[in-house]
Structure 1
Amino acid sequence: MTRFQPGEIVNITIKGVRIARPRSATAVTITDEHGVTYQMPPQAAVEPVAPAEWPPQVGDVWRDHEGDLWFTQELLEENGSQVVFAPAQSGEYGHSDADPDDALRRYGPMTLVYRKLVELDGGESR
C-alpha cells in the first residue's frame, strides 16, 4: 500500500454512493451503506450514475435519453430470475431484452415513468 505524506495532493474516487442532501451544485452530502453521511468538498467530482429510483423493479416503465419507453419484466431462468428491460417498440431486428445496468450505460440517462405502489401492512404505500 502506498504511504501518503502530509501536504500531498491526491485524487480520490468514491463509486456507487447515494446522494443524501444536495445543498448546491458544489456542496453534496453522500450516504454510505451504513447510513453514515459525509460532506463532499467542493473539489470532489460528482458524476450522476443512476437515478434515485434505481434499480428497476418488475412492472416499472422507464424512458431513455431519446424518449423511448422500456418495460421491466422478470426473466425466469433455471437457477433463478432477473429483472430485464424490454423496449416498448421492436426495431428491425426484433425484440431484445437488456440488462438494466447495460441499458443505463447505452441509453441513459433513464427516467422512471411509472412504478406500481406496494401497499404495506396498515394501509401505508411505498
Structure 2
Amino acid sequence: MSGTTYRLGDRVRVTYEGIIDKVDESDPHRFGFRVGQHGADYFRTDDGAIRHELVTDADWPPAPGDVWRDRNGARWMAITLAPCECGDDCEDGDVGLTSEFGARYPGNLQLLRAVRYYGPFRLEVPGRLRVEREGKR
C-alpha cells in the first residue's frame, strides 16, 4: 500500500495492529493503543502495521451526469431516475449508476450495494449539475 494518497473528505477503512499500553481502571472498555512510532491521530500509508483502503471518494455520492470509475477501471454513468424506476430504493434520492458492462443500480439503497460489489469508485468527470452546484459555493 506504499504510495497511496488520499484526499480530504475520502472515507477510508483503517485497521491497525499495535500494543495496548494503558487500560483505564475505572472503565475497562477504554484503552490506550500504540502503533509503532506513530501517534493515534495521524498514520502513514507506508506503515506496515496499518492496513487502509478507500471506502468512498470525497465526491461521493454521485450526481446526475457524473462519470465514475470502479476499482477495476470500468466506467459508470450517474443517471437521474424516473420516479417509478426504483420503487422503495429511492427513498432518499433519485440517482442511479449504470456501468459500461450493463450493470444498473437505481436508487440510494442500490448505490450502497454498488459500492460493496464494485467500489471504491473515483469521480472521473463531474457532471454539469455537480459543476453548477460547486460553482455556487
TM-score normalised by L of structure 1: 0.53
**What does 1:1-126 correspond to in 2, within 5 Å?**
6-10=26-30, 23-25=42-44, 48-78=54-84, 82-90=94-102, 96-98=103-105, 99-116=110-127, 117-118=131-132, 124=135
1:25 aligned partner, one-letter code: R
TM-score normalised by L of structure 2: 0.50
Q: Which has the higher contact order (CA 8 A, sep 6+)?
A: 2
Shift in CA distance, 119/108, structure 1 to aligned 2, threshold 3 Å: closer
Shift >2 Å, 4+ stretches: 22-26, 45-49, 78-81
- Give the length in aligned residue pairs: 87
- Over aligned residues, Cα RMSD in angstroms? 3.3
Shift in CA distance, 109/77, structure 1 to aligned 2, threshold 3 Å: same
Residue 55 of structure 1 aligns to a residue whose secondary structure is: coil
Q: Which has the higher helix share?
A: 2
1:97 aligned partner, one-letter code: R
For structure 1, list consecutive stretches of 5 or more residues without a partner in the other structure: 12-21, 27-44, 91-95
Report how far residue 75 of structure 1 moved: 1.0
